[in-house]
């Protein structure tokens, strides 16, 4: 992560000591600070959630459109049977 983090907010969490030590090793291996590593992970999680939400919205719209088309098709078939 080459850009500087804007330190405008903080978050205090409690984690197990072994998890913290493991995170320190991961951060060091990637050449990041703990804050940068956690921010990177959280940014990825937020981005995935946003994509999932957008996908769900699109899926809902497609379902509604398909239902409408199906209804119109059924109505058309009813009218043909009556003729």
CA-based end-to-end distance of the chain:
69
Residue 78 included in any domain: yes
**Strand locations in the chain (E):** none
Q: What is the pLDDT of residues 7-28, one digit of tens each?
A: 678 888 999 999 999 999 999 9
Say if 52 falls within a structural domain.
yes
Q: Does the residue 64 lie in any domain?
A: yes
Distance of CA 65 to the CA centre of its chain: 24
25-37 pLDDT, tens digit per residue, is 999 999 999 999 9
**What range does the domain containing 75 cover?**
17-82
pLDDT at 29 (0 to 100): 97
For the chain, the domain total comes to 1
In a domain, 9, yes or no: no
pTM of the predicted protein model: 0.57
Q: How many angstroms separate the CA atoms of 16 and 14, rounded? A: 7
Q: Determine which helix (DSSP H) or strand (DSSP E) holds 30, and give its type and residue range.
A: helix 17-30
- Do residues 56 and 17 make contact, with C-beta atoms less than 8 angstroms apart? no
38-72: pLDDT as tens digits: 999 999 999 999 999 888 888 889 999 999 999 99
């Amino acid at each position: 992560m080459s850009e500087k983090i804007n330190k405008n907010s903080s978050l205090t969490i409690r984690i197990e000591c072994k998890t913290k030590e493991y995170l320190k090793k991961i951060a060091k291996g990637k050449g990041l600070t703990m804050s940068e590593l956690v921010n990177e992970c959280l940014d990825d999680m937020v981005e995935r959630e946003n994509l999932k939400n957008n996908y769900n919205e699109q899926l809902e719209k497609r379902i509604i459109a398909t239902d409408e088309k199906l209804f119109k098709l059924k109505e058309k078939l009813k009218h043909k049977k009556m003729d």
